[in-house]
Chains A and B, each alone.
Chain A
Amino acid sequence: MPSQVHRRGPATPEMNITPLIDVVFLLIVFFMLVNTIKMQEAVEMFLPDLDDSQARELASEGFVIVNVAPQRFQRTERTDNPLRFDSTARMVQIGSQQQFPMDDLSGVTAALERRMERNPELEVVLRADSALRYDEVQPVMDAVTAAGISRVNLMAYDPTQE
């Protein structure tokens, strides 16, 4: 009597790719989560669009993003003319989590000072909406320099980075 194995015919080689799929899914989930966290550092806004921009690519590390956020908006309502919008700032956000109201800029200085203790070479990337008034953004710059940080990178829209 032939064995069960031989009755089915010769075995065809099959690669078990289930673990591969598991690993790939885990990597996808990981990278998507990391991306989400990185994106939370950047508050939704319209950055200044410059004439013949001299902006360069952002370094990969050694900086903290300070957002001067505009009032909430729908992207479509500002597409035609980003400057025609409320010129007052809503809040200041440092990194992805720390948020400060506009009347508590000493908190911004204190938070940056704590970060400076960990990294004395810290640079600030200042993201401010293009429609904000200068007297809304300038106090934030003062709060940054008051923490002892002189390297302030002004973020602008850069079409060459698309």
Chain B
Amino acid sequence: MSKAVAGPSAEAAEDPTVHHRTARQRRGLAPAKMQPNLSSMIDIIFQLLIYFVVTASFAIDEGVLTATLPTGAGSASDMEPPPETLDIRLVSAGEIGVSIDLGGTGRLDSFTALASELDGLQFDPGRGRHNGVYAPDDPVVIRPAGDVRWQHVVNAFNAAIKARYTNVNFAQPE
């Protein structure tokens, strides 16, 4: 009386394929894990990190305002200005303060007010400015006193640029 034998041992006996078993499998150990050496990569990453941190402090947080000045042997103010010149007079107030005077309109409190006032004086139908009398390319002359700090001079220039005047000049110190 024969009895059918079932189970993996019987299937294994019938399977002609030879299965290779590694030494770890024979010992019942889990497969070895790949462990690449990361130390060198970390070294490099740290070096790069330091480099970028150091150069980040070098990043230039500076911008430029472009001016086109008349060239010549220091004779910028020798030219006779045209009659429609728009003058911005800067006089020092106190040790570091400044008093702003826009020709014909009186004193102004701030450079923001100066920009607004300059904008209002401009005639530029393309931008809906119909009430002004100065064209965008009319000369704007910044006339600072000699003791006015450079900060205020550049601020006045910035206000003129903001009001979209394209011909802004600096006079000799008054």
**Chain B: interface residue count, which band?**
35 or more
Instruction: Indicate with 1 or 0, residue by residue over B35-67, a CB within 8 angstroms of chain A CB atoms.
Output: 001001101100110010011001111111111
B-side binding surface: helix, strand, loop or mixed? mixed
The contact of A148 among B71, B144, B158, by CB within 8 Å, is B71
A-side binding surface: helix, strand, loop or mixed? mixed
| Contact across chains for B69 and A156 when beta carbons are under 8 A apart | no
* Chain A residues within an 8 Å CB radius of B37: 14
Whether A77 sits at the interface, judged by CB under 8 Å, is no
Closest Cβ of chain B to A26, distance in Å, is 11
Closest Cβ of chain A to B54, distance in Å, is 7
**Chain A: interface residue count, which band?**
35 or more
Whether A76 sits at the interface, judged by CB under 8 Å, is no
* Chain B residues within an 8 Å CB radius of A161: 59-63
* B54 and chain A: residue at smallest CB distance: A32
| Contact across chains for A54 and B60 when beta carbons are under 8 A apart | no
- CB-defined A-B contacts under 8 Å, sample of 22: A17-B40, A21-B43, A24-B44, A24-B47, A32-B55, A50-B111, A51-B110, A51-B159, A57-B63, A84-B95, A133-B147, A134-B146, A134-B149, A137-B150, A145-B71, A149-B71, A150-B68, A151-B68, A153-B64, A154-B67, A156-B63, A158-B61
